[in-house]
């Protein structure tokens, strides 16, 4: 698959199973992530690999966070939060590590981290690895951030679920560039 095919055909896959990506596949995905556009070459990111017993620990973190928000949370809901990380054999927590810089504001550093994630999930697609970038309440939760060791200057950009697709990749939806790209100034 060439680069343009990967970029225009990449799709998310949320139904994942074992095995997780191999060491070689991970190395290639991680190298792709580290080539993201990065104003000032700050490398404003770090990533946590979460697998095996780490998935169980993350599930406990999610459950504690949910209980902090709602101490009366039903047992079934607690179990749902605890099982969230079991949806994939490998989860990557993507963290923007923002630094003070005279020319590169924090928002650019967060965007650069997002670009790194995009490169990672596109590289996963090339290898036939299912990838799903999850955000939501757990990404924003102080309990989750603290448990993962985030510092005050860091932003949790999301959790990237990776594994073997349980179903074939869906075709990429057709999108017309003209719907999103216009000449300026207007003619």
- What CATH number does residue 33 fall under? 3.40.109.10
How many domains does the chain contain in total? 1
pLDDT of residue 187: 82
Is 175 within a domain? no
Is 97 within a domain? yes
Domain range for 22 is 15-168
Please, what are the averages of pLDDT over each run of 10 residues along the chain (187 residues)?
A: 96 97 98 98 98 98 98 98 98 98 98 98 98 97 98 98 97 95 93
Is 182 within a domain? no
Is 163 within a domain? yes
What token pair was written down for 11? Answer: 């799709």
Is 128 within a domain? yes
Is 30 within a domain? yes
Chain centroid to CA 164: how far?
A: 16
Helices 53-69 and 75-83: crossing angle in degrees, nearest 10, is 140
- Could you identify the residue written with the tokens 């997780």? 20
Is 176 within a domain? no
Is 6 within a domain? no
pLDDT of residue 24: 98
pLDDT of residue 7: 97
């Amino acid at each position: 698959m060439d680069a343009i095919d990967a970029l225009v055909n990449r799709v998310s896959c949320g139904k994942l199973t074992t095995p997780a990506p191999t060491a070689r596949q991970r190395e290639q995905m991680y190298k792709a992530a580290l080539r993201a556009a990065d104003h000032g070459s700050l490398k404003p990111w770090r990533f946590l690999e979460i697998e095996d017993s780490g998935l169980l620990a993350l599930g406990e973190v999610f459950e504690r966070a949910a209980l902090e928000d709602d101490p009366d949370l039903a047992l079934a809901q607690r179990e749902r939060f605890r099982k969230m990380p079991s949806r994939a054999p490998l989860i990557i927590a993507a963290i923007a590590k923002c630094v003070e810089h005279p020319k590169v504001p924090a928002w650019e550093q967060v965007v650069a981290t997002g670009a790194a994630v995009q490169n990672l999930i596109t590289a996963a697609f090339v290898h036939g690895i299912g990838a799903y970038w999850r955000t939501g309440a757990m990404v924003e939760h102080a309990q989750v951030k603290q448990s993962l060791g985030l510092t005050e200057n860091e932003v949790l950009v999301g959790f990237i679920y990776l594994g073997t697709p349980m179903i074939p990749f869906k075709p990429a939806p057709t999108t017309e560039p003209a719907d999103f790209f216009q000449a300026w100034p207007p003619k």
